[in-house]
Amino acid sequence: MRSRGPLLLWVILTAVVLALAGASVLAERPAEAAWQPSKPVEFVIQTSPGGGSDVYARFWIGIIDKYKLSPVPVVPVNMPGGAGAVALAHLHSKKGDPHFISPTLNSVITTPLLQKIPVMYLSEDLTPIVKMMMDPFLLVVNPEQFKSVEQFLAACRQQSLTAAGTGSKQEDEIQIFAMQNAFKCQPFRYVPHKGGGDVAKAVAGKHADFNVNQPSEMLPHYPQRLIPILSFQKERPKEFPEATTHWEKGINSQWAALLDLETGLHQMRGVIGAPDMPKDAVTWYEDMFRKVWETPEWQEFMKKGAMQPVFMRSEEYRKFLVRFENNHVKVMRDVIGWKLRDDLRPR
Amino acid sequence: MEALGNLLFGFTIALTPYNLMVAASGVFLGIIIGVLPGLGGTSGVAILLPMTMVMPATSGIILLASIYWGALFGGAITSILFNIPGEPWSVATCFDGYPMAKQGRAGEALASAFVPGFFASLFGILLFTFFAPPLAELALKFGPPEYLAVLLLAFSTFAGLGGGPLEKTLVSMFAGFLLGTVGLDIVTGEPRLTFGTIDLLAGFSFVTVCIGLFGLGEIMVSAEESLQFRGVQATIRLREVWRVVRSLAEHLRTFVMGTLLGFWVGVMPGTGATPASFMSYGLAKQSSRHPHKFGTGVPEGVMATETAAHAAGIGALLPLVTLGIPGSPTAAVMLAGLFVWGLQPGPRLFVEQPDFVWGLIASMYIGNMIALLMCLLLVPFFTAILRIPYAILGPLIVLFSAIGAYAVKNMMLDIWLLLIFGVVGYVFKKLAYPVAPLVVALVLGDMTEEALRQSLIMSDGSFTIFLTRPIAAALIGVALFIFLLPMLRPLLPQAVGGSRAAPLSGR
């Protein structure tokens, strides 16, 4: 009998506390966002640690952690291989699960057009979430070899020049091929390399005559060993006013559009999710990545790398991707004549 | 002397209590990461990268670099104790380290890895401190033909390594080349030998194959023989460390060759320490007075590999800081760090961020010293692991191996491959096929093919490119000489053996 009293009291107190806690949870719920991740989010990365997309994913995760933007951890999961094929197939298999996202780079556009994997068009087969920036292409040469674009064009019409680029049948080669046609150069020799840093090194060390690269990859060697002589956009980049735009060179406007940053090709960094991601989950990610985009860290990073600070939400990004994909099909299949996957859905 | 002043300035940054603490915890974490099979320095650095965002940049890079040093030291531990290479460049450490451990000389083997490794690092850091910019300039001169030449050099030094009959070595080596071709071909962008599957597009990862062939294969053999590690020594005596230090003088050539090779190959972007470690081992064997003993547990074998690996680890940071190009996969993750901290790598970094650059360089000295001390103090603990009955230890190693294999690509397929390669390793062992040529071919075959095809694109298909470029031509000449040396030697026994003026022949 003696021990009963305290026990009873404890039970009652516990019940009261639990009830209060429950009530407060119930009361708070409607005020919160409609959807929140309920388990750790898997950030599926197409490269090994240190690869292009890995750098971006880990950078964003660092920002998310620092500003506590997510109630659950965002975990980087590297699934390298097949120029993104392995990671894309994995993401595709998580249909409807909003806890799987992936950084985008251009090989997620080119690889599914070439390899028979479950994903074909990103805009249709996965869920576009946000676009975080555009990384422009520059035509980069060694100043000891060429001083200006005029010199370069004269040389390329005379003889076959050697180009260095990342990977095979990927963005760099496409841009280089398009350039060859637009400027009526002799066929380039295209030497594929593993990554952007190697590509920059090839030209800086004079093992290749030029590359088309992103500013951040050229900057370590600028201006002693690498200079931009042509920029593929409407106006000269304010960081490199010396780089003439391709529009100034008076080429066929259809070619010019395909080479252009806005209407044609560039490196894009963004985020995509598993297929059929629920609408409210997409909204949650949009808001979170918008906050990431606004942080001084990301703004500073884009400024340092001379990137174009665009931000697109899901719907806008999807529309952009449709045009981007169509441009790729056009250049890859119709202009260059590569054999795309034989089950390609026409659009 | 300007560098000396800068270095002192760097020490004032690296020696602050906070940065010292950062370095010590980084090294400790690194050792643990290095010890776990499969989980190499690259993953360790990548995992901690987001955390460094809240730190000052200098402390951030010190943390990441310290993890790297720790992992370099830790990687040798698993190779020696369990025959499982923690990192690609510690594969060759297994060759002699593990036999030594089986003979009860684990302590000696570990000391032969740590002490020369430390001195190689020190040598590398000195080169880094005083010659970083000119070395970076030289690295730029190395294009695809020069890479091919260096890789051929690696193959030539490694040619005689199989030890067994030539045909078995060739079978093993070609199996490695075949495995290396699986996946997406970098030159054409076409899939090769994937049989239409997506998982095989990623190719065979070196870590899985290696852990399977060496680790699991060895465990099966050991289980069959009910292995007992004989008379495992519990402590490492100071005398033993001292003996290793003195033996450095004895093997000065191996040490210097390993360090210089390792450092240079580390500086060359994209190759990393792996070719250097094989080359160093191969050269040590070829120039040894008792080459036949290599592979049975000679400390020089461990020493040669580890000096090259450590020097390469230091070298890999050089192009990262000076050119913004990582020299190794781990350095690639650190490059991400530079961007995250808002720094622009390149020559201007030395001018604009002297506290970062010199703080990092000073912390290399400190981090490696901490790593050496920690490892030597931990040796008794590591060797004590070997006293655990194999019935318990074996399954634990299998478990960690499986985790390591899975961690590479987060794919279940890798665990199956691990098991398959374990059986292959066992069969190879039973039929006396050498495993090493397979691994070397798998790791270097891919790079070699790439360099060859890149060179041939550059030259429109003409092989003269290898003769017209002086560095490439010279290196290929050396490679051919080393390759033919074992065949030439029996032909001219008097000429070589009788001549006192031919120290390199080293009978």
For A130-178, write each residue's pLDDT tens digit. Answer: 999 999 999 999 999 999 999 999 999 999 999 999 999 999 999 999 9
pLDDT (0 to 100) of residue B1: 63
Give the highest mean pLDDT range of B110-119, B375-384, B398-407.
B110-119
Give the span between the Cα atoms of A91 and A129, in whole angstroms. Answer: 14
Say which residue, B2 or A316, is predicted with more confidence: A316
Give the span between the Cα atoms of B185 and A75, in whole angstroms. Answer: 30
pLDDT (0 to 100) of residue A129: 98
DSSP B422-460: HHHHHHHHHTT--SHHHHHHHHHHHHHHHHHHHHHHHTT
Distance from CA of B89 to the nearest CA of A (A): 18
Closest by CA position to B401, among listed B389, B390, B417, B388: B417
Conformational region of residue B189, where left means phi above 0, alpha means psi within -120 to 50, and beta covers everything else:
left
pLDDT (0 to 100) of residue A250: 85
Give the span between the Cα atoms of B64 and B45, in whole angstroms. Answer: 6
In the block, tokens 């402390």 appear at B59
> Chain-wide mean pLDDT for chain A?
89
With respect to residue B162, please indicate whether it lies within any of the assigned structural domains: no
Give the span between the Cα atoms of B218 and B430, in whole angstroms. Answer: 11
Q: What is the pLDDT of residues B318-361, one digit of tens each?
A: 998 888 888 888 888 888 888 888 888 888 888 889 999 999 99
What's the average model confidence in pLDDT over B403-411? 87
The Cβ of residue B288 has, within 10 Å, a number of other Cβ atoms equal to 20
At position B122, the amino acid (one-letter code) is: L
Of the candidates A49, A51, A80, the beta carbon closest to that of B202 is on A80
How far is CA B240 from its chain centroid? 25
Interface test with B, best of A92, A107, A113, A115 (most B CBs within 10 A): A115
Q: Which domain does B260 fall in, by range?
A: 2-153+201-420
How far is CA A7 from its chain centroid? 61
A220 to chain B, any CB pair closer than 8 A? The answer is: yes
Give the span between the Cα atoms of B339 and A146, in whole angstroms. Answer: 29
In the block, tokens 């020299």 appear at B327
What's the average model confidence in pLDDT over B310-321? 92
Residue B79 vs residues B38, B87, B101: alpha-carbon distances, Å: 11, 9, 10
The Cβ of residue B216 has, within 10 Å, a number of other Cβ atoms equal to 27
Give the span between the Cα atoms of B219 and B231, in whole angstroms. Answer: 19
Q: Is B390 exposed, middle or buried (0-12, 13-18, 19+ CB in 10 A)?
A: middle
Give the span between the Cα atoms of B31 and B44, in whole angstroms. Answer: 10
pLDDT (0 to 100) of residue B495: 44
Q: What is the CA radius of gyration of chain B?
A: 22
At position B273, the amino acid (one-letter code) is: A
pLDDT (0 to 100) of residue B161: 59
Do the strands A162-166 and A189-193 form a parallel or antiparallel pair, or are they unpaired? Answer: parallel
Q: What is the pLDDT of residues A177-215, one digit of tens each?
A: 999 999 999 999 999 998 888 999 999 999 999 999 999
pLDDT (0 to 100) of residue B37: 75
**Whether the predicted pLDDT of B162 surpasses 60:** no
Distance from CA of A291 to the nearest CA of B (A): 17
How far is CA A273 from its chain centroid? 13
Whether B458 sits inside 8 A of A81 (CB atoms) is no
pLDDT (0 to 100) of residue A7: 58
E strand segments, B360-443:
none
Of the candidates A79, A80, A168, the beta carbon closest to that of B187 is on A168
What's the residue count for chain A?
347
pLDDT (0 to 100) of residue A30: 45
What's the average model confidence in pLDDT over B81-100? 86
Q: A 21-50 residues with CB below 8 A of B?
A: 48-50
**SS3 sequence, B210-278?**
HHHHHHHHHHHHHHHCCCCCCCCCCCCCHHHHHHHHHHHHHCHHHHHHHHHHHHHHHHCCCCCHHHHHH
pLDDT (0 to 100) of residue A1: 41
Give the span between the Cα atoms of A153 and A12, in whole angstroms. Answer: 86
With respect to residue B17, please indicate whether it lies within any of the assigned structural domains: yes
As a dihedral over the C-alpha atoms of residue B353, residue B356, residue B359, residue B363, rounded to 10 degrees, the angle is -150
Instruction: Specify the 3-state DSSP secondary structure of B387.
Output: coil
Confidence of residue B502 (pLDDT cuts 50, 70, 90): very low
CB B449 within 8 A of CB B176: no
pLDDT (0 to 100) of residue B13: 93
Whether A78 sits inside 8 A of B409 (CB atoms) is yes
Find chain A residues with C-beta within 8 A of B42's C-beta: 48-50
Helices (H) and strands (E) in chain B, counts: 24, 2
Residue of B nearest to A203 (CA): B140
A301 to chain B, any CB pair closer than 8 A? The answer is: yes
With respect to residue B60, please indicate whether it lies within any of the assigned structural domains: yes
- Give backbone dihedrals phi and psi of A237, rounded to 5 degrees, phi first: -65, 140
Of the candidates B143, B183, B202, the beta carbon closest to that of A205 is on B143
At position A18, the amino acid (one-letter code) is: L
CB B272 within 8 A of CB B316: yes
Give the span between the Cα atoms of A114 and B185, in whole angstroms. Answer: 13
> Worst-scoring range by mean pLDDT, A320-324, B263-267, B276-280, B312-316?
B276-280
Residue of A nearest to B144 (CA): A207
Interface test with A, best of B135, B201, B341 (most A CBs within 10 A): B201
Whether A205 sits inside 8 A of B140 (CB atoms) is yes
Continuous segment of H or E residues that includes residue B35: helix B17-35
Give the span between the Cα atoms of A322 and A123, in whole angstroms. Answer: 6
Tell me the H-state helices in chain A.
4-28, 52-66, 85-92, 107-114, 122-125, 149-158, 171-182, 196-204, 215-218, 253-259, 279-294, 296-304, 314-329
What's the average model confidence in pLDDT over B356-369? 95
Q: Which residues contact B371 (CB under 8 A, 6 or more apart)?
A: B27, B30, B31, B66, B69, B70, B72, B73, B118
pLDDT (0 to 100) of residue B507: 32
Residue B184 bridge partners (DSSP): B191
> Chain-wide mean pLDDT for chain B?
87
With respect to residue B221, please indicate whether it lies within any of the assigned structural domains: yes
What is the ipTM score, two decimals?
0.88
Whether B46 sits inside 8 A of A193 (CB atoms) is no
Q: Residues of chain B with pLDDT > 90: what percent? A: 46
Of the candidates A117, A193, A304, the beta carbon closest to that of B344 is on A304
Give the span between the Cα atoms of B259 and A222, in whole angstroms. Answer: 32
SS3 content of chain B, % helix, strand, coil (to 5): 80, 0, 20
**Whether the predicted pLDDT of B438 surpasses 60:** yes
In the block, tokens 């290793």 appear at B244
With respect to residue B172, please indicate whether it lies within any of the assigned structural domains: no
What's the average model confidence in pLDDT over B447-472? 95
With respect to residue B348, please indicate whether it lies within any of the assigned structural domains: yes
SS3 content of chain A, % helix, strand, coil (to 5): 45, 15, 35
> Worst-scoring range by mean pLDDT, A23-32, A103-112, B123-132?
A23-32
**Whether the predicted pLDDT of B422 surpasses 70:** yes
Distance from CA of A322 to the nearest CA of B (A): 24
Residue A245 bridge partners (DSSP): A231
Do the strands B183-184 and B191-192 form a parallel or antiparallel pair, or are they unpaired? Answer: antiparallel
> Worst-scoring range by mean pLDDT, A211-215, A311-315, B78-82, B117-121?
B78-82
Q: B 240-299 residues with CB below 8 A of A?
A: 269-270
Domains annotated on chain A, with CATH = 39-134+266-335 (3.40.190.150), 138-259 (3.40.190.10)
What's the average model confidence in pLDDT over A331-345? 92
Give the span between the Cα atoms of B97 and B108, in whole angstroms. Answer: 9
Q: B 146-175 residues with CB below 8 A of A?
A: none
Give the span between the Cα atoms of A323 and A331, in whole angstroms. Answer: 12
With respect to residue B258, please indicate whether it lies within any of the assigned structural domains: yes
Q: What is the pLDDT of residues A104-126, one digit of tens each?
A: 989 999 999 999 999 999 999 99
Do the strands A162-166 and A210-213 form a parallel or antiparallel pair, or are they unpaired? Answer: parallel
Find chain B residues with C-beta within 8 A of A219's C-beta: 324, 344, 346
Confidence of residue B233 (pLDDT cuts 50, 70, 90): low
Whether A82 sits inside 8 A of B191 (CB atoms) is yes
DSSP secondary-structure letter at A18?
H
Closest by CA position to B91, among listed B4, B203, B214, B8: B214
Find chain B residues with C-beta within 8 A of A218's C-beta: none
What the block records as the tokens of B279 is 């080359």
pLDDT (0 to 100) of residue B497: 42
How many domains does one find in chain B?
1
With respect to residue B143, please indicate whether it lies within any of the assigned structural domains: yes
- Strand ranges of the sheet holding A41-45, from the earlier edge strand across to the other edge: A74-78, A41-45, A100-104, A267-273, A127-135
Give the span between the Cα atoms of B9 and B354, in whole angstroms. Answer: 9
Q: Which residues contact A257 (CB under 8 A, 6 or more apart)?
A: A263, A264
Distance from CA of B208 to the nearest CA of A (A): 14
Q: Which residues contact B8 (CB under 8 A, 6 or more apart)?
A: none
A336 to chain B, any CB pair closer than 8 A? The answer is: no
Confidence of residue B164 (pLDDT cuts 50, 70, 90): low
